[in-house]
Structure 1
Amino acid sequence: MFVRHPVWLQNATRPGSETFALVFAAESLSRSIISSVIPIQLLRVLGDSQQVSVLYFTASCVGMVFALFLPMIVGIIPRRWVYTFGAVGFIIAAFFLMMEDETSLVIGMIARVVGLVSTTICMNLYILDFIARRDLSRSEPTRIFYSALSWSVGPVCGALLMQWWGMWAPFAVSAGCAAVMLGYFWCLRLGGGLAITAGSRRRAPNPLSSIRQFIRQPRLNMAWIIAFCRASWWSMFFIYTPIYAVESGLGEIIGGLIVSGGNACLFLLPIWARIARRIGARKVLMIAFIVAGTGTSLVAFMNGYAYLGVGLLLIAALGMSFQDAIGNLPFMVAVRPRERSEMTSVFMTYRDASELVPPGVYALLLRSFDLSAVFLATGALMFGIVGIASRVHPRVGKDRVIDKIAAPAE
């Protein structure tokens, strides 16, 4: 007898904005549950925030190199297996990061960043394959909004699990979420048939050639810089907010609550997305970076007023959530379809660079200054990017104009 499955179940196994958003939400939960725990674990084992910055810097170096060679890997190995490799990387990372020795922490951090690179690049390629250009301005906010719950409850839940059952608990939950994400990903292949395709069999160009081609395109360069600055702020927020809470005497739980509160601003994305479609990406980006720069810079002057500093960090997070309504739209609009694999791999290095350059700079600053220098440097970066954001095409992000300003298909 024929059984008609519910509409929502059919949609949940069909490639599209909502299915990709669900995969992203599961990945976000796996990462967020340990986002406020990793800095505390590293601080306990390594001893000071300067060494924490060095380890983040080292792991990100590995991630950036891996990202540049990923097109070659995808050219040899089907994309579904590269994504699977990345998901397994999350599980391996969780296992090693719960250990109490430096070697295990190094292995865990490297596995984490390699897994993140693999899953992120592959998922962005799937989005570009299945989502029409004209729908990108709606799919990006949807994808980020679906992850809002994960990033809102994950950090504080991780801190609570650590307090109640020990350091192993949040990492075990993180590994479980990664396993669920991987299972759902494979269900998409079985349910839709076309949801997963093998990687391109044409020979991938040398990574240096891809970089040169990327640099020749000003719109891609601008998209990379904007994405790098956005990710740099969030990188600072996830790493140094828990440390700020501990060093200010607020405690680990408050650190998790701050991170969760900042991510809860993502629930405002439907409102921000509506505003963005009306005023365009350029104004949204400029407003977001100004608000974030102001709030972050003022935290540096809140010595002795920790809760006021927390309020300023949350105001800055609110500004960055406004900017997240745009997501990676400037890149997705500008990239040429025939160059998607190579250019996406280069573009996604912004994520690794955001965990490479800022911690490297902060490690140098923390040798001579206290934690306030981190907030001043990050605030200055936010103000500095406003000028570049002002060069974004005024119609990017507005309804019904993406196809008119998109890169030619060639």
Structure 2
Amino acid sequence: MDVNQPLFIRSLAKPGAGVFAMLFTLDSIGRAIISTVLSLQAYDLYRDAFGQAESRPWVSASFLLTSFVSLLFNLVSPSFIHAFRRRWFYLGGIILGIIAVFLLATNTIPGQISGMICRAISAAACRIALLLYIMDYIPRHQLVKSEPLRLALSCIAWGLGPLLGVVLYAEHGSIAPAMISAASYVVLIVYFLYLRLRDDPALVPPGNALKQFRNPLRNIRHFIEQKRLVLAWTIAFGRSAWWSMFFVYPALYLTDHHVDQFYAGLVVGIGNALLITAPIIGMVAQRIGIRAPLVYGLFFGGIVTLAIPFFYDYPLIVSILLLFGASAIIVLDALGNIPFMRFVRVRERNQMSPIFQTYIDFSDLAPSTIYTLLLLQFDFRAVFLTSGLLTILAGIVATYLPKRL
């Protein structure tokens, strides 16, 4: 490597915080560009098929099915990792992401459902593999620096992606955001192959241990028996449950209130652009620890979400409250995975990481089930109220984190 190259370029060639931030950013571009389009397109398809009122529970039910399939994949993924190795597991996830966006671009209900499922499996595979690589290459004491960097670098993707996706969808249909998403995944494949990241052979359990860890039920039981891992999972669940609400229901709420879809994408985009503050959050956490930011972030995010039903007929105020909530939950994005990374045993990473990642599926599955049932009788106020309560409950759990963490 040329030592005269800029430091930024060198940091993207050697495995470290910069490399994993770039891998996450490229993956984020592929997912963010269709994140809001996903719910809007589903809403349009179901509205045309079943009518406006009946379309709401159908949208929730689609996300519910997607989360359930993704959950099952997470539980069996250790077997795939050991059978194909992490490298091919990661590449397979990326390729499935490309397939997903073109299934969605068919603009049909079967294409919508199958595309959502493929996208969820792709995201799960990429998240699990990247988490394992990060824990292999980044020392635990540097996670407070590296995790905020990873989130900050992706802020452009999550800040502009949802808005750009909505604009392209409105003007050119679903094929336009699909093409940009696919291009990002292709660049990600090329960059990943260039890096030649390798598995740590010391982390692959031999013989009988390997057979034991291939049993999903044993993995779950072993995870639950470790209270600190359950604590880390619950905190991550609270964060992800709020974001799963934010990516779907504000856009539907604004559309339902006859607000242009452009503004729905703008709200989601601005909320994600707040990721730029992640390095500042990391610097604060280095001084005071991660416990207080996690606790207060969850409490504040929950409280402002609970306030939304009181201003339900005022989309501008609701949008502002959602952005205040996003600014609080960003703290969890910057620091929320660190408890697990510090608590998990080194030789159990391959087995416990997929179980930990189920927080994402449960955060879609459990709330979506509740939202689907509530929307049969109530409007979107019930969604915001439930989301706020779940977030506050996660904040209460976070108070049990070690004070010196």
Residues 84-123 of structure 1: CA deviation (Å, up to 9, x unaligned): 1100111011001112222111110110011011111011
Residue 45 of structure 2 aligns with which residue?
45
Residue 364 of structure 2 aligns with which residue?
355
Asked if 1:298 is matched to 2:302, the reply is no
- C-alpha separation in 2, matches of 1:278 and 1:66: 38
SS of the equivalent of 1:301 reads helix
Q: 1:306 to 1:8 in 2, by over 3 A?
A: closer
SS of the equivalent of 2:266 reads helix
Deviation at 1:327, TM superposition (A): 2.8
Say if 1:78 and 1:197, in contact at 8 Å, map to a contact too.
no
More helix by share: 2
Say if 2:238 and 2:391, in contact at 8 Å, map to a contact too.
yes
Say if 1:79 and 1:197, in contact at 8 Å, map to a contact too.
no
Asked if 1:221 is matched to 2:230, the reply is yes
Deviation at 1:351, TM superposition (A): 1.1
SS of the equivalent of 1:52 reads helix
Q: Bigger shift: 4-13 or 347-356?
A: 4-13
- C-alpha separation in 1, matches of 2:184 and 2:293: 33
Q: Mind listing any 5+ residue stretches in structure 2 that lack a counterpart?
A: 48-54
Residues 336-385 of structure 1: CA deviation (Å, up to 9, x unaligned): 00111101011011111112111111001101110110000000111112
Residue 162 of structure 2 aligns with which residue?
155
Residues 34-92 of structure 1: CA deviation (Å, up to 9, x unaligned): 11111000001122121111011101111111111111111111211110110011101
Q: Bigger shift: 114-123 or 195-204?
A: 195-204
Which of 291, 310, 320 matches 1:311? Answer: 320
Deviation at 1:195, TM superposition (A): 4.4
- C-alpha separation in 2, matches of 1:322 and 1:347: 19
- C-alpha separation in 1, matches of 2:164 and 2:19: 25
Residue 242 of structure 2 aligns with which residue?
233
- C-alpha separation in 2, matches of 1:79 and 1:272: 31
- C-alpha separation in 1, matches of 2:257 and 2:317: 12
Which of 258, 261, 264 matches 1:255? Answer: 264
Q: 1:179 to 1:392 in 2, by over 3 A?
A: same
Residue 112 of structure 1 aligns with which residue?
119
**What is the count of residue pairs matched by the alignment?**
391
Q: How does 1:1-400 map to 2 (within 5 A)?
A: 6=5, 7-47=7-47, 48-189=55-196, 194-195=197-198, 200=204, 202=206, 203-204=210-211, 205=213, 206-396=215-405
Say if 2:104 and 2:174, in contact at 8 Å, map to a contact too.
no
Q: Mind listing any 5+ residue stretches in structure 1 that lack a counterpart?
A: 397-410
Deviation at 1:201, TM superposition (A): 7.1
Q: 1:4 to 1:215 in 2, by over 3 A?
A: closer
Residue 51 of structure 2 aligns with which residue?
none
Say if 2:294 and 2:336, in contact at 8 Å, map to a contact too.
no
SS of the equivalent of 2:335 reads coil
